[in-house]
């Protein structure tokens, strides 16, 4: 009858030592529980849940994109131009983008008003 | 003097690159030394991979279409004006409106388009999911089929070592089709036959364009009862009798033909005289490292327009866009490009409706197939339906 000799690699020995430490200190129970919770969460997550969650993240990213761009743009314009006079302010309103932005802000307040 | 950078094309490649350039060149933009402009043939941005979900009734389509202006930073001037002429000697692109767009640096990101007319009978007898119109049409057929045969065919460009759009898509959709028909309860009565051409880039008589994946596919297909046959290069289709004929002399009848049709570069590229591709396919000769159009000092290209051997897909563009942006920024600052593309492609393949397989490869290493998982599918879904827009905006 032939005898099988199994040689343990250094990596396997290291892993065994670390696992032994986890078992001896009782930490293994919590880690197993944690893995079980992770697994349960994956199991219970559905595609519609992912879609709704990612949609919320996309909305936040969109708000971040618009806000960051607008602040940078406004700062640049402020640096380039002097503070306008009253009539200068009115002149700004001739710009279509300014008017679009203003209408958006007004509608934004309406949208908030509808919810409070 | 102010330098002008012109981006032609408002798809994934153009949009990502425009935003990445605006971010990288912000100091120059603030000093009024650089101007960025984009021209596109559409006011809308279409995320093409979304069409695949439309084909299987998992999305309506509108989720993947957005106003292009909403995806661009305000530093980028955007014009809806289809490009009709590229003049690389005088450094300008002419729009359909007659307007001339001068440039110091040009980025050609005009993608590719379905050219079903290159196969006789395919436009009339075949279907595909590579456009939203095509996906809606095939979705209706998938929803109605009760029994019969669905034939999958794949055509490659005639130009050697250039792939069709999204190399893994035929495999993905075959697996999704199996799941979809199983969901509908008709899978037992519908035969799926996956075919692949004799020559697919470096692979001959395989089922995929890279050898390691090609070798595991028979086992994968057998496990879901998908019949598979290599050596079938679609040559013509008889739409009346619903028969597909191959260059190798075989014929297969079908009820639905789900094809990966021939593709070609955009008309403005094909008409430009810049391409040396066979059959007037229009792929741009591209330096595999710098991503410059070979022979032109100030013209870059990326995405589906190139003649590189890597996949024509978003996961490729995401790795090319920073190379192009960095190289143009470096040329403006130091006078020479500094970055080199290694051929990296990163994606998650949708191997069925609920299983995703992360994959990556480059010029040196092929994809190493791994088992797909539910988490992988969540990653893919999350990217397609949300994170993509952040990536297009240059946020990730």
Where residue B277 sits, what CATH number does that domain have?
Answer: 3.50.50.60
3-state secondary structure at position B12: helix
Number of folded domains that form chain B: 2
Rounded CA gap, B379 and B260, in Å?
25
Q: How many CB atoms lie within 10 A of CB A26?
A: 8
Domain end point (choices B243, B262, B281) = B262
Same domain flag for B185 and B53: no
- Of B259, B274, B246, B249, nearest to B117 by C-alpha is B259
Rounded CA gap, A17 and A11, in Å?
10
CB of A90 within 8 Å of a chain B CB? The answer is no
CB–CB contact A65 B395 (8 Å): yes
CB–CB contact A45 B378 (8 Å): yes
Domain membership flag for residue B380: no
pLDDT higher than 80, residue A1 = no
Q: Return the ∠ at Cα B167 (arms to B346 and B70), rounded to 5°.
A: 60
| Cβ neighbours of residue B29 closer than 8 Å, sequence gap 6 or more | B22, B35, B36, B75
ipTM higher than threshold 0.85 = yes
Q: How far is A58 from chain B (nearest CA, A)?
A: 5
Domain membership flag for residue B358: no
pLDDT at residue B51, rounded to an integer:
95
For chain A, domain boundaries: 10-44, 51-81, 84-116
Domain membership flag for residue B212: yes
pLDDT higher than 80, residue A7 = no
Structural domain range at position B181: 115-262
pLDDT at residue A8, rounded to an integer:
78
Q: Which residues of A touch B74 (CB under 8 A)?
A: 69-70, 73
| Cβ neighbours of residue A103 closer than 8 Å, sequence gap 6 or more | none
Same domain flag for B137 and B257: yes
What region does B40 belong to: left with phi over 0, alpha with psi -120 to 50, or beta?
beta
Domain membership flag for residue B390: no
Same domain flag for B96 and B222: no
pLDDT average, residue stretch B18-28: 97
Half-sphere exposure of B197 (CA within 13 A, CB side): 22
Of A49, A62, A73, A75, which to mutate for an interface test with B (greatest number of B Cβ within 10 Å)? A62
CB–CB contact B386 A62 (8 Å): no
pLDDT average, residue stretch B210-231: 96
Domain end point (choices B344, B364, B387) = B344
Q: Which residue of A has its CA nearest to B63?
A: A55
Tell me the pLDDT of chain B averaged across its residues.
Answer: 97
Same domain flag for B208 and B306: no
User: Between the CA atoms of B240, B246, B251 and B252, what dihedral angle is there, to the nearest 10 degrees?
Assistant: -80
pLDDT tens, position by position, B141-190: 999 999 999 999 999 999 999 999 999 999 999 999 999 999 999 999 99
What region does B242 belong to: left with phi over 0, alpha with psi -120 to 50, or beta?
left
Rounded CA gap, B48 and A58, in Å?
18
Domain membership flag for residue B355: no
Same domain flag for B71 and B173: no
Q: What percent of chain B has pLDDT over 90?
A: 99
pLDDT at residue A4, rounded to an integer:
67
Rounded CA gap, A80 and A78, in Å?
6
Rounded CA gap, B82 and B202, in Å?
36
Rounded CA gap, B203 and A106, in Å?
61
- Using the CB atoms, write b or e for A42-78: b if 16+ within 10 Å: eeeeeeeebbeebeeebeebbeebeeebeebeeebee
CB of A44 within 8 Å of a chain B CB? The answer is no
pLDDT tens, position by position, B293-336: 999 999 999 999 999 999 999 999 999 999 999 999 999 999 99
Rounded CA gap, B214 and B218, in Å?
8
Domain end point (choices B262, B282, B316) = B262
Domain membership flag for residue B362: no
CB of A57 within 8 Å of a chain B CB? The answer is yes
Q: How far apart are the first and last CA of chain B?
A: 32
Q: How far apart are the first and last CA of chain A?
A: 84
Same domain flag for B186 and B230: yes
- Of B119, B118, B114, nearest to B134 by C-alpha is B114
Rounded CA gap, B368 and B168, in Å?
13
Q: Return the ∠ at Cα B186 (arms to B183 and B192), rounded to 5°.
A: 100
pLDDT at residue B40, rounded to an integer:
98
Domain membership flag for residue B396: no
Rounded CA gap, B269 and B277, in Å?
11
Domain membership flag for residue B379: no
Same domain flag for B134 and B234: yes
Q: How far is A51 from chain B (nearest CA, A)?
A: 7
Q: Return the ∠ at Cα B169 (arms to B165 and B171), rounded to 5°.
A: 140
Same domain flag for B197 and B334: no
3-state secondary structure at position B280: helix
- Name the band, by pLDDT with cuts 50, 70 and 90, for residue B254: very high
> Are B154 and B262 within 8 A, CB to CB?
no
CB–CB contact A58 B386 (8 Å): yes
């Amino acid at each position: 009858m032939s005898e099988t000799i199994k040689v343990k690699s250094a990596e396997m020995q290291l892993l065994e030592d670390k696992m032994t430490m986890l078992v001896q200190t009782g930490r293994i129970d919590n880690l197993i529980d944690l893995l079980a919770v992770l697994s349960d969460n994956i199991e219970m997550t559905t595609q519609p849940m992912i879609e709704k969650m990612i949609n919320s993240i996309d909305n936040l990213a969109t708000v971040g994109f618009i806000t960051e761009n607008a602040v940078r743009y406004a700062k640049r314009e402020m640096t380039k131009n002097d503070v306008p006079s009253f009539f200068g302010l009115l002149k700004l309103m001739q710009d279509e983008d300014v008017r679009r932005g203003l209408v958006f802000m007004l509608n934004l307040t309406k949208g908030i008003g509808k919810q409070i | 003097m102010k330098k002008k950078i012109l981006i032609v094309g408002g798809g994934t490649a153009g949009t990502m690159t425009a935003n990445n350039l605006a971010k990288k060149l912000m100091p120059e933009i603030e000093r009024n030394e650089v101007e960025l402009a984009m021209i596109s043939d559409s006011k809308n941005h279409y995320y093409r991979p979304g069409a695949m979900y439309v084909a299987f009734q998992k999305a309506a389509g509108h989720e993947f279409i957005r106003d292009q202006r909403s995806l661009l930073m305000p530093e980028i001037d955007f014009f809806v004006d289809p490009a009709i002429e590229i003049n690389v000697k005088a450094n300008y692109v002419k729009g359909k409106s007659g307007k001339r767009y001068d440039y110091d640096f040009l980025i050609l990101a005009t993608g590719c388009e379905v050219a079903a007319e290159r196969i006789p009978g395919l436009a009339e007898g075949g279907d595909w999911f590579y456009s939203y119109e095509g996906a809606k049409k095939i979705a209706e057929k998938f929803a109605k089929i009760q029994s019969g045969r669905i034939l999958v065919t794949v055509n490659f460009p005639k130009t050697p070592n250039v792939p069709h759009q999204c190399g893994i898509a035929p495999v993905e959709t075959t697996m999704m089709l199996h799941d979809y028909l199983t969901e509908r309860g008709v899978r037992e009565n519908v035969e799926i036959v996956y075919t692949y051409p004799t020559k697919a880039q470096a692979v001959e008589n395989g089922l995929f364009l890279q050898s390691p994946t090609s070798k595991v596919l028979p086992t994968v297909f057998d496990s879901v009862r998908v019949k598979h046959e290599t050596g079938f290069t679609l040559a013509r289709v008889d739409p009346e009798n619903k028969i597909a004929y191959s260059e190798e002399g075989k014929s297969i009848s079908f009820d639905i033909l789900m094809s990966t049709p021939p593709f070609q570069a955009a008309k403005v590229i094909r008409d430009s005289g810049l391409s040396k591709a066979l059959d007037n396919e229009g792929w741009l000769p591209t330096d595999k490292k710098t991503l410059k159009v070979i022979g032109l000092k100030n013209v870059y290209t990326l995405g589906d327009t190139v003649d590189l051997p890597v996949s024509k897909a978003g996961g490729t563009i995401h790795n090319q866009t920073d190379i192009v942006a960095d190289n143009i920024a470096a040329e403006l600052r130091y006078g020479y490009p500094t970055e080199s593309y290694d051929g990296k492609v990163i994606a998650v393949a949708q191997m069925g409706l609920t299983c995703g397989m992360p994959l990556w490869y480059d010029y040196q290493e092929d994809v190493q197939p791994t088992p797909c998982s539910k988490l992988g599918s969540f990653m893919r879904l999350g990217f397609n339906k949300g994170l993509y827009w952040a990536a297009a905006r240059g946020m990730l």
